[in-house]
Structure 1
Protein backbone atom coordinates (compact mmCIF):
# COMPACT_ATOMS: atom_id res chain seq x y z
CA UNK A 1 0.00 0.00 0.00
CA UNK A 2 1.34 3.40 -0.88
CA UNK A 3 0.95 6.59 1.11
CA UNK A 4 -1.25 9.34 -0.35
CA UNK A 5 0.53 12.23 -2.05
CA UNK A 6 -0.22 15.87 -1.37
CA UNK A 7 -3.79 16.71 -2.43
CA UNK A 8 -4.97 13.06 -2.51
CA UNK A 9 -7.77 12.11 -0.11
CA UNK A 10 -6.77 10.03 2.91
CA UNK A 11 -9.51 7.47 2.26
CA UNK A 12 -9.00 5.36 -0.84
CA UNK A 13 -11.72 5.83 -3.47
CA UNK A 14 -12.60 2.15 -3.44
CA UNK A 15 -13.72 2.31 0.20
CA UNK A 16 -15.80 5.43 -0.45
CA UNK A 17 -17.44 3.86 -3.49
CA UNK A 18 -18.08 0.59 -1.66
CA UNK A 19 -19.61 2.48 1.29
CA UNK A 20 -21.84 4.51 -1.02
CA UNK A 21 -22.96 1.37 -2.85
CA UNK A 22 -23.71 -0.33 0.47
CA UNK A 23 -25.77 2.63 1.67
CA UNK A 24 -27.78 2.73 -1.55
CA UNK A 25 -28.37 -1.04 -1.33
CA UNK A 26 -29.54 -0.76 2.27
CA UNK A 27 -31.96 2.03 1.36
CA UNK A 28 -33.37 0.04 -1.55
CA UNK A 29 -33.80 -3.08 0.57
CA UNK A 30 -35.47 -1.02 3.29
CA UNK A 31 -37.91 0.36 0.74
CA UNK A 32 -38.69 -3.17 -0.42
CA UNK A 33 -39.34 -4.27 3.15
CA UNK A 34 -41.89 -1.51 3.68
CA UNK A 35 -44.02 -2.47 0.72
CA UNK A 36 -47.77 -2.20 0.96
CA UNK A 37 -48.51 -5.66 2.37
CA UNK A 38 -52.25 -5.41 1.88
CA UNK A 39 -52.91 -9.08 1.31
CA UNK A 40 -55.94 -10.30 3.14
CA UNK A 41 -56.18 -12.99 5.84
CA UNK A 42 -55.16 -16.56 5.24
CA UNK A 43 -57.40 -17.14 2.27
CA UNK A 44 -56.78 -15.08 -0.87
CA UNK A 45 -59.35 -12.40 -1.54
CA UNK A 46 -61.20 -12.42 1.78
CA UNK A 47 -60.76 -11.72 5.46
CA UNK A 48 -59.47 -14.63 7.46
CA UNK A 49 -62.47 -16.31 9.05
CA UNK A 50 -62.66 -16.84 12.76
CA UNK A 51 -61.83 -20.52 12.18
CA UNK A 52 -58.34 -19.67 10.90
CA UNK A 53 -57.79 -16.88 13.43
CA UNK A 54 -59.83 -18.10 16.40
CA UNK A 55 -61.85 -15.40 18.10
CA UNK A 56 -62.66 -17.60 21.06
CA UNK A 57 -59.31 -18.29 22.67
CA UNK A 58 -57.73 -16.22 25.41
CA UNK A 59 -55.65 -13.22 24.44
CA UNK A 60 -51.98 -13.80 23.78
CA UNK A 61 -49.43 -12.76 26.36
CA UNK A 62 -48.66 -9.08 26.11
CA UNK A 63 -51.99 -8.46 24.40
CA UNK A 64 -51.98 -4.80 25.34
CA UNK A 65 -48.53 -3.94 24.08
CA UNK A 66 -48.14 -1.42 21.32
CA UNK A 67 -46.37 -1.42 18.00
CA UNK A 68 -45.71 2.18 17.05
CA UNK A 69 -49.08 3.91 16.90
CA UNK A 70 -50.94 0.60 16.67
CA UNK A 71 -51.98 -0.81 20.05
CA UNK A 72 -52.74 -4.52 20.20
CA UNK A 73 -56.35 -5.37 21.11
CA UNK A 74 -57.37 -8.49 23.00
CA UNK A 75 -61.17 -8.06 23.01
CA UNK A 76 -64.04 -6.37 21.18
CA UNK A 77 -67.51 -5.82 22.59
CA UNK A 78 -70.83 -4.29 21.67
CA UNK A 79 -71.67 -1.19 23.65
CA UNK A 80 -74.87 0.88 23.61
CA UNK A 81 -74.10 4.53 22.82
CA UNK A 82 -76.67 7.19 23.59
CA UNK A 83 -78.51 8.14 20.40
CA UNK A 84 -76.37 5.82 18.25
CA UNK A 85 -77.48 2.32 19.13
CA UNK A 86 -74.95 -0.47 19.61
CA UNK A 87 -71.37 0.09 18.43
CA UNK A 88 -68.20 -1.98 18.68
CA UNK A 89 -65.46 -0.96 21.12
CA UNK A 90 -62.06 -2.39 21.95
CA UNK A 91 -60.87 -3.83 25.27
CA UNK A 92 -60.40 -0.29 26.64
CA UNK A 93 -63.89 0.88 25.62
CA UNK A 94 -62.62 2.94 22.67
CA UNK A 95 -65.01 3.19 19.70
CA UNK A 96 -63.94 1.28 16.58
CA UNK A 97 -64.51 2.67 13.09
CA UNK A 98 -64.62 1.53 9.50
CA UNK A 99 -63.40 3.58 6.52
CA UNK A 100 -65.64 4.05 3.50
CA UNK A 101 -62.71 3.77 1.07
CA UNK A 102 -61.69 0.34 2.41
CA UNK A 103 -63.32 -2.72 0.89
CA UNK A 104 -64.86 -5.62 2.79
CA UNK A 105 -64.77 -8.28 0.08
CA UNK A 106 -61.99 -8.91 -0.48
CA UNK A 107 -60.85 -7.17 2.67
CA UNK A 108 -58.54 -4.34 1.75
CA UNK A 109 -57.24 -1.39 3.76
CA UNK A 110 -56.49 1.93 2.11
CA UNK A 111 -55.61 4.09 5.13
CA UNK A 112 -51.80 4.21 5.13
CA UNK A 113 -48.94 6.59 5.90
CA UNK A 114 -50.07 9.80 7.62
CA UNK A 115 -53.66 8.51 7.68
CA UNK A 116 -52.63 5.99 10.37
CA UNK A 117 -51.49 8.85 12.63
CA UNK A 118 -55.15 9.91 12.92
CA UNK A 119 -56.86 6.57 12.30
CA UNK A 120 -54.91 3.85 14.10
CA UNK A 121 -55.38 0.31 12.75
CA UNK A 122 -56.69 -2.16 15.34
CA UNK A 123 -53.95 -4.79 15.58
CA UNK A 124 -54.52 -8.21 17.14
CA UNK A 125 -52.31 -11.10 18.10
CA UNK A 126 -53.40 -14.60 17.13
CA UNK A 127 -56.88 -14.31 18.65
CA UNK A 128 -59.38 -11.88 20.06
CA UNK A 129 -62.29 -12.38 22.45
CA UNK A 130 -65.73 -11.02 21.61
CA UNK A 131 -68.75 -10.00 23.66
CA UNK A 132 -71.95 -9.09 21.85
CA UNK A 133 -70.18 -9.32 18.48
CA UNK A 134 -70.79 -12.32 16.20
CA UNK A 135 -67.50 -14.24 16.29
CA UNK A 136 -68.03 -15.63 12.79
CA UNK A 137 -67.84 -12.04 11.47
CA UNK A 138 -64.37 -11.45 12.93
CA UNK A 139 -61.26 -11.95 10.84
CA UNK A 140 -57.97 -10.26 10.04
CA UNK A 141 -56.27 -8.47 7.18
CA UNK A 142 -52.49 -8.63 6.87
CA UNK A 143 -50.92 -5.21 7.36
CA UNK A 144 -47.13 -4.93 7.01
CA UNK A 145 -46.43 -8.12 8.94
CA UNK A 146 -49.19 -7.57 11.51
CA UNK A 147 -52.84 -8.61 11.69
CA UNK A 148 -55.44 -5.86 11.52
CA UNK A 149 -58.80 -6.84 12.96
CA UNK A 150 -61.70 -6.90 10.51
CA UNK A 151 -65.43 -7.14 11.19
CA UNK A 152 -67.66 -8.41 8.38
CA UNK A 153 -64.58 -7.91 6.20
CA UNK A 154 -64.13 -4.22 7.14
CA UNK A 155 -60.68 -3.37 8.58
CA UNK A 156 -61.10 -1.60 11.95
CA UNK A 157 -59.52 1.60 13.27
CA UNK A 158 -59.41 3.81 16.38
CA UNK A 159 -59.64 7.60 16.12
CA UNK A 160 -56.90 9.71 17.74
CA UNK A 161 -59.53 12.28 18.81
CA UNK A 162 -61.26 9.74 21.05
CA UNK A 163 -59.24 10.44 24.19
CA UNK A 164 -61.28 8.29 26.56
CA UNK A 165 -63.70 5.40 26.52
CA UNK A 166 -67.20 6.12 25.25
CA UNK A 167 -66.31 8.96 22.88
CA UNK A 168 -67.30 8.92 19.19
CA UNK A 169 -65.48 12.02 17.93
CA UNK A 170 -64.53 10.22 14.70
CA UNK A 171 -68.16 9.58 13.74
CA UNK A 172 -68.98 10.88 10.23
CA UNK A 173 -65.51 12.47 9.75
CA UNK A 174 -65.01 13.46 6.12
CA UNK A 175 -68.25 11.58 5.33
CA UNK A 176 -66.02 8.45 5.16
CA UNK A 177 -65.44 7.33 8.76
CA UNK A 178 -68.21 5.70 10.79
CA UNK A 179 -68.48 3.77 14.03
CA UNK A 180 -69.16 0.12 13.26
CA UNK A 181 -72.10 -1.93 14.56
CA UNK A 182 -71.75 -5.52 15.85
CA UNK A 183 -73.06 -6.75 12.48
CA UNK A 184 -70.45 -4.76 10.52
CA UNK A 185 -72.72 -1.96 9.32
CA UNK A 186 -71.74 1.67 9.72
CA UNK A 187 -73.58 3.89 12.18
CA UNK A 188 -75.15 6.52 9.97
CA UNK A 189 -76.17 9.89 11.36
CA UNK A 190 -78.93 12.21 10.17
Structure 2
Protein backbone atom coordinates (compact mmCIF):
# COMPACT_ATOMS: atom_id res chain seq x y z
CA UNK A 1 0.00 0.00 0.00
CA UNK A 2 2.80 2.44 0.92
CA UNK A 3 4.77 1.49 -2.18
CA UNK A 4 1.70 2.22 -4.33
CA UNK A 5 1.34 5.71 -2.77
CA UNK A 6 5.02 6.44 -3.39
CA UNK A 7 4.77 5.41 -7.04
CA UNK A 8 1.60 7.50 -7.58
CA UNK A 9 3.15 10.53 -5.86
CA UNK A 10 6.31 10.20 -7.94
CA UNK A 11 4.30 9.93 -11.18
CA UNK A 12 2.19 12.96 -10.26
CA UNK A 13 5.31 14.93 -9.35
CA UNK A 14 6.96 14.16 -12.68
CA UNK A 15 3.85 14.84 -14.77
CA UNK A 16 2.93 18.18 -13.14
CA UNK A 17 5.78 20.29 -14.61
CA UNK A 18 5.15 18.81 -18.05
CA UNK A 19 1.44 19.57 -17.94
CA UNK A 20 1.95 23.08 -16.57
CA UNK A 21 4.63 23.82 -19.18
CA UNK A 22 2.35 22.68 -21.99
CA UNK A 23 -0.51 24.83 -20.71
CA UNK A 24 1.61 27.96 -20.41
CA UNK A 25 3.27 27.78 -23.83
CA UNK A 26 0.24 27.69 -26.10
CA UNK A 27 -1.58 30.68 -27.55
CA UNK A 28 -4.50 28.63 -28.80
CA UNK A 29 -3.15 28.24 -32.34
CA UNK A 30 -0.91 25.29 -31.55
CA UNK A 31 2.30 27.29 -31.71
CA UNK A 32 4.33 29.24 -29.23
CA UNK A 33 3.34 32.83 -28.64
CA UNK A 34 5.29 35.23 -30.86
CA UNK A 35 8.07 37.23 -29.30
CA UNK A 36 7.52 40.89 -28.65
CA UNK A 37 8.45 43.02 -31.65
CA UNK A 38 11.86 44.63 -31.76
CA UNK A 39 12.07 48.35 -31.09
CA UNK A 40 12.35 49.13 -34.83
CA UNK A 41 9.32 47.02 -35.67
CA UNK A 42 5.77 48.27 -35.53
CA UNK A 43 2.52 46.37 -35.31
CA UNK A 44 -0.03 47.12 -37.97
CA UNK A 45 -3.68 46.28 -37.88
CA UNK A 46 -4.34 44.80 -41.29
CA UNK A 47 -7.67 46.12 -42.62
CA UNK A 48 -9.81 43.65 -44.51
CA UNK A 49 -11.27 44.20 -47.95
CA UNK A 50 -13.67 41.84 -49.63
CA UNK A 51 -12.60 39.49 -52.38
CA UNK A 52 -14.44 37.21 -54.71
CA UNK A 53 -13.72 33.50 -54.56
CA UNK A 54 -11.43 32.92 -57.53
CA UNK A 55 -12.62 29.37 -58.21
CA UNK A 56 -13.14 26.76 -55.60
CA UNK A 57 -11.19 28.91 -53.14
CA UNK A 58 -9.76 25.88 -51.42
CA UNK A 59 -6.30 25.87 -50.02
CA UNK A 60 -5.03 28.45 -47.64
CA UNK A 61 -1.58 26.93 -47.72
CA UNK A 62 0.18 26.46 -44.44
CA UNK A 63 -2.06 26.87 -41.44
CA UNK A 64 0.67 28.78 -39.61
CA UNK A 65 -0.13 32.46 -39.27
CA UNK A 66 2.39 35.00 -40.47
CA UNK A 67 3.05 37.50 -37.69
CA UNK A 68 5.43 39.89 -39.44
CA UNK A 69 6.98 41.08 -42.68
CA UNK A 70 10.34 42.66 -43.32
CA UNK A 71 12.34 44.10 -46.22
CA UNK A 72 15.37 41.98 -47.14
CA UNK A 73 18.13 42.72 -49.66
CA UNK A 74 18.71 39.74 -51.96
CA UNK A 75 21.44 39.32 -54.56
CA UNK A 76 20.20 39.68 -58.14
CA UNK A 77 16.69 40.96 -57.39
CA UNK A 78 17.13 43.82 -54.95
CA UNK A 79 15.05 44.38 -51.84
CA UNK A 80 12.10 42.03 -51.37
CA UNK A 81 9.52 41.37 -48.69
CA UNK A 82 9.92 38.29 -46.50
CA UNK A 83 7.71 36.82 -43.78
CA UNK A 84 8.60 36.36 -40.11
CA UNK A 85 10.52 33.16 -40.99
CA UNK A 86 12.59 34.84 -43.72
CA UNK A 87 10.62 33.25 -46.58
CA UNK A 88 10.31 35.39 -49.72
CA UNK A 89 6.81 36.64 -50.54
CA UNK A 90 5.43 36.78 -54.09
CA UNK A 91 2.70 38.47 -56.11
CA UNK A 92 0.81 36.99 -59.05
CA UNK A 93 0.37 38.91 -62.33
CA UNK A 94 -3.06 37.34 -62.93
CA UNK A 95 -4.32 39.38 -59.99
CA UNK A 96 -3.66 42.46 -62.19
CA UNK A 97 -7.27 43.10 -63.24
CA UNK A 98 -8.18 43.65 -59.59
CA UNK A 99 -5.29 42.97 -57.23
CA UNK A 100 -7.60 43.27 -54.22
CA UNK A 101 -9.08 39.92 -55.30
CA UNK A 102 -7.12 36.70 -55.31
CA UNK A 103 -7.18 34.46 -58.36
CA UNK A 104 -4.87 31.62 -57.27
CA UNK A 105 -7.11 28.84 -55.95
CA UNK A 106 -7.43 25.06 -55.91
CA UNK A 107 -4.29 23.30 -57.11
CA UNK A 108 -2.54 26.66 -57.51
CA UNK A 109 -2.45 27.01 -53.71
CA UNK A 110 -0.51 23.77 -53.37
CA UNK A 111 2.43 25.46 -55.10
CA UNK A 112 1.74 29.08 -54.11
CA UNK A 113 0.76 29.23 -50.46
CA UNK A 114 -1.43 32.22 -49.51
CA UNK A 115 0.08 34.30 -46.69
CA UNK A 116 -2.51 34.07 -43.90
CA UNK A 117 -2.37 36.61 -41.06
CA UNK A 118 -4.15 37.43 -37.82
CA UNK A 119 -5.46 40.83 -36.79
CA UNK A 120 -2.07 42.56 -36.74
CA UNK A 121 1.27 42.19 -38.50
CA UNK A 122 4.69 43.46 -37.37
CA UNK A 123 6.58 45.37 -40.04
CA UNK A 124 10.15 46.40 -40.63
CA UNK A 125 11.09 48.24 -43.82
CA UNK A 126 7.59 47.88 -45.32
CA UNK A 127 5.20 50.86 -45.35
CA UNK A 128 2.33 50.15 -42.97
CA UNK A 129 -0.18 52.01 -45.13
CA UNK A 130 0.46 49.58 -48.02
CA UNK A 131 -0.55 46.49 -46.02
CA UNK A 132 -4.07 45.10 -45.99
CA UNK A 133 -5.96 41.84 -46.27
CA UNK A 134 -8.52 40.09 -48.43
CA UNK A 135 -10.95 37.51 -47.09
CA UNK A 136 -10.10 33.95 -48.06
CA UNK A 137 -12.45 31.24 -46.76
CA UNK A 138 -13.00 32.97 -43.42
CA UNK A 139 -9.32 33.84 -42.99
CA UNK A 140 -7.27 36.88 -43.93
CA UNK A 141 -4.71 36.81 -46.74
CA UNK A 142 -2.09 39.56 -46.50
CA UNK A 143 -1.90 42.12 -49.32
CA UNK A 144 0.76 44.67 -50.18
CA UNK A 145 -0.34 47.68 -52.25
CA UNK A 146 -3.49 45.65 -52.95
CA UNK A 147 -1.63 42.57 -54.26
CA UNK A 148 -2.43 39.29 -52.43
CA UNK A 149 0.81 37.70 -51.18
CA UNK A 150 1.99 34.10 -51.46
CA UNK A 151 4.92 31.88 -50.52
CA UNK A 152 6.44 29.48 -53.06
CA UNK A 153 6.70 25.84 -51.99
CA UNK A 154 9.94 25.60 -54.00
CA UNK A 155 11.62 27.90 -51.48
CA UNK A 156 12.77 25.43 -48.86
CA UNK A 157 14.61 27.91 -46.66
CA UNK A 158 14.93 31.55 -45.76
CA UNK A 159 16.35 34.04 -48.29
CA UNK A 160 15.55 31.92 -51.34
CA UNK A 161 13.66 33.28 -54.35
CA UNK A 162 13.24 30.18 -56.52
CA UNK A 163 9.80 31.39 -57.63
CA UNK A 164 11.12 34.65 -59.11
CA UNK A 165 9.81 34.96 -62.69
CA UNK A 166 8.13 31.54 -62.53
CA UNK A 167 5.81 31.03 -65.52
CA UNK A 168 6.43 34.73 -66.32
CA UNK A 169 3.63 35.49 -63.81
CA UNK A 170 5.07 35.15 -60.31
CA UNK A 171 7.50 37.69 -58.85
CA UNK A 172 9.05 38.38 -55.50
CA UNK A 173 7.40 41.52 -54.20
CA UNK A 174 9.33 44.69 -53.39
CA UNK A 175 8.38 46.75 -50.30
CA UNK A 176 6.51 49.14 -52.62
CA UNK A 177 4.26 46.32 -53.89
CA UNK A 178 5.97 46.35 -57.29
CA UNK A 179 7.72 43.32 -58.81
CA UNK A 180 11.26 42.79 -57.63
CA UNK A 181 13.90 43.24 -60.34
CA UNK A 182 14.06 40.31 -62.71
CA UNK A 183 17.09 38.06 -62.48
CA UNK A 184 19.42 38.10 -65.46
Structure 1 residues 188 and 70, CA gap change in structure 2 (3 angstroms): farther
Match for residue 117 of structure 2?
Answer: 124
Structure 1 residue 84, shift from structure 2 partner: 1.3
Task: Check whether the contact 1:70–1:120 (CA below 8 A) recurs between aligned residues.
Answer: no
Matched, 1:183 2:169: no
The answer on 1:141 being equivalent to 2:134 is: yes
| Residue-pair matches, total | 129
Note the aligned Cα RMSD (angstroms). Answer: 1.9
Between Structure 1 and Structure 2, the one with more helix by share is 2
Distance 2:46 2:95 in 1: 22
The answer as to whether partners of 2:99 and 2:148 remain within 8 angstroms in 1 is no
Where structure 2 has 5 or more consecutive residues not aligned to the other structure, the ranges are 1-43, 49-59
Which of the two has higher C-alpha Rg?
1
Residues in 1 aligned to 2:126 and 2:158: alpha-carbon distance in whole angstroms: 18
Q: CA deviation at 1:105?
A: 4.5
Structure 1 ranges of 4+ moved more than 4 A: none
- Match for 1:159 among 152, 165, 173? 152
Q: CA deviation at 1:51?
A: 6.2
Establish whether residue 173 from structure 1 lines up as the match of residue 171 from structure 2.
no
1:80-91 maps to which residues of 2 (within 5 A)? Answer: 80-91=73-84
Task: Please identify, of 98-107 and 119-128, the stretch whose mean Cα deviation from structure 2 is larger.
Answer: 98-107
Q: TM-score when scaled to structure 2?
A: 0.66
Match in the other structure for 1:53: 47
